[in-house]
Amino acid sequence: MLIKQLGELKQSGLITEEEFKSKKRILLDKLLL
C-alpha cells in the first residue's frame, strides 16, 4: 500500500526517481524483517 502511494508521488513529480528507489528499498526491508 505504501509502495503504491510512493509510485503515485513519483508519477506526480513530487519525488524523484532516486528518492522513490531509496524509499521503496527502506519499505521493502521493513516488510521483510
Give per-residue pLDDT as tens, 1-33: 888 999 999 999 999 999 999 999 999 999 888
Question: Cell for 9?
Answer: 508521488
pLDDT of residue 29: 93
Q: What is the DSSP letter of 14?
A: S
pLDDT of residue 1: 84
pLDDT of residue 19: 97
Q: Are 14 and 27 in contact (CB under 8 A)?
A: no
Please give the model's pTM, rounded to 2 decimal places.
0.77
Question: Cell for 29?
Answer: 526491508
pLDDT of residue 4: 93
What's the angle, vertex CA 30, arms to CA 8 and CA 33, rounded to 5?
A: 150
